[in-house]
């Protein structure tokens, strides 16, 4: 009789254990109650118990009992890590738990675009909700100092690219990455530059690359644009490039360059100054850096828009003036 009772008790215990194992397995394999991909932030110091309670409160799981006790039974499988995670809508609780234990945080990103300015990068960073802001309201010259840039104006020193990061990364950290990237890219191109270029330093090349970046969005044309500026510099001709005027005008630029603007002597007006402006005027991409340090061979000294996204290149002023008249004629026809 006693032996029979022991057997029955063992069978009950085994049955109960089997039911528990099944319920654990069923709970972990059940899909989360979310209708779309969702971000989930785990705070530092969170335990599996507090995490289970949070999921229950968010109604991602029907009850916390199974997850909480799973963590107690298998602590090594429930060592969740702090961070912000992107949870797919079809994820199971087991997949969610594995993601958090592995620490696979979501990678956010920001993109700095070729031809934009340093202040535009600051605006992008300030608008991102998952970046920790430490330089909002700080003068650009002080930001430059923090980055280790000697010049008060850090224009041009950020490499335009997409930068991935995890939540709460500091804005200055991303700027340092972009600055370091530009230093590396510029140094590489400078070391492999063509011979007999009119640039004494990598920084002068960076200034020119920024001008080329602003002059054309047609990458295949950049080496030819570069050749025009090289030819003009060699002949001690002024660059006479409109993007430098626009940069020098700052907020005063309203969409049109006037005769008065061309006559105004600012540090960036290449119609009035000799050689290069004092700093870059925008972020130069890799193609502009390459074009600057590997210009095409040409005898062109002028170029003007062709009205089709490309430019018309000329050897003489007479040819250039004819190309300008042709461009103005096209523009008038478009306005009819």
209 closest CA partner among 268, 294, 133: 294
Partners of residue 170 on adjacent β-strands: 132
pLDDT at 10 over 60: no
Assigned domain for 315 exists: no
The domain tally of the chain equals: 2
| Shared-domain flag, residues 172 and 89 | no
pLDDT at 84 over 90: yes
| Shared-domain flag, residues 147 and 47 | no
- Region of 137 on the Ramachandran plot (φ > 0 left; ψ -120 to 50 alpha; else beta): left
| Shared-domain flag, residues 52 and 75 | yes
Q: What is the pLDDT of residues 31-44, one digit of tens each?
A: 888 889 999 999 99
pLDDT at 232 over 80: yes
296, burial (CB in 10 Å: exposed 0-12, middle 13-18, buried 19+): middle
- Quick one: pLDDT at residue 15? 44
Quote the domain boundaries for residue 185: 108-298
pLDDT at 143 over 80: yes
pLDDT at 2 over 50: yes
Average pLDDT, the chain: 89
- Quick one: pLDDT at residue 17? 44
CATH, residue 86: 3.30.1490.480
- Quick one: pLDDT at residue 259? 87
Q: Which residue has the higher pLDDT, 74 or 112?
A: 112
pLDDT at 174 over 60: yes
The domain boundary, picked from 59, 74, 102, lies at 102
| Shared-domain flag, residues 93 and 137 | no
pLDDT band at 285 (very low <50, low <70, confident <90, very high): very high
**How many helices (DSSP H) and strands (DSSP E) are in the chain?**
13, 8
| Shared-domain flag, residues 118 and 251 | yes
Assigned domain for 237 exists: yes
Helix, strand, coil share (%) of the chain residues, nearest 5: 50, 10, 40
Q: What is the DSSP letter of 113?
A: P
């Amino acid at each position: 009789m006693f032996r029979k009772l022991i057997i029955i008790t063992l069978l009950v215990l085994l049955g109960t254990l089997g039911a528990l194992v099944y319920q654990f397995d069923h709970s972990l394999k059940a899909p989360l109650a979310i209708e779309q991909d969702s971000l989930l932030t785990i705070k530092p110091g969170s335990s599996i118990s507090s995490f289970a309670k949070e999921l229950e409160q968010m109604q991602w799981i029907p009850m916390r009992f199974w997850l909480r006790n799973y963590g107690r039974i298998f602590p090594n499988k429930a060592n969740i890590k702090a961070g912000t995670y992107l949870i797919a809508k079809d994820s199971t609780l087991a997949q969610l738990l594995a993601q958090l234990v592995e620490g696979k945080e979501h990678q956010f990103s920001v993109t700095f675009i070729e031809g934009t300015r340093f202040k535009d990068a600051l605006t992008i960073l300030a608008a991102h909700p998952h970046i920790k802001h430490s330089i909002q309201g700080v003068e650009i010259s002080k930001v430059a100092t923090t980055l280790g840039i000697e010049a008060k104006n850090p224009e041009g020193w950020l490499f335009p690219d997409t930068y991935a990061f995890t939540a709460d990364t500091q804005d200055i950290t991303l700027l340092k990455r972009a600055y370091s990237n530009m230093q590396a890219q510029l140094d590489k191109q400078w070391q492999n530059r063509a011979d007999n270029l009119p640039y004494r330093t990598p920084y002068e090349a960076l200034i020119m690359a920024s001008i080329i970046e602003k002059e054309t969005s047609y990458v295949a044309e950049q080496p030819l644009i570069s050749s025009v500026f090289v030819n003009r510099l060699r002949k001690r001709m002024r660059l006479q490039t409109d993007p430098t005027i626009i940069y020098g005008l700052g907020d005063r630029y309203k969409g049109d360059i006037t005769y008065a603007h061309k006559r105004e002597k600012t540090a960036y007006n290449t119609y009035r100054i000799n050689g290069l402006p004092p700093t870059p005027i925008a972020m130069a991409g890799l193609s502009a850096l390459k074009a600057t340090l590997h210009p095409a061979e040409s005898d062109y000294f002028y170029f003007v828009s062709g009205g089709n996204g490309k430019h018309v290149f000329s050897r003489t002023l007479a040819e250039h003036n004819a190309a300008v008249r042709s461009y103005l004629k096209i523009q008038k026809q478009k306005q009819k």
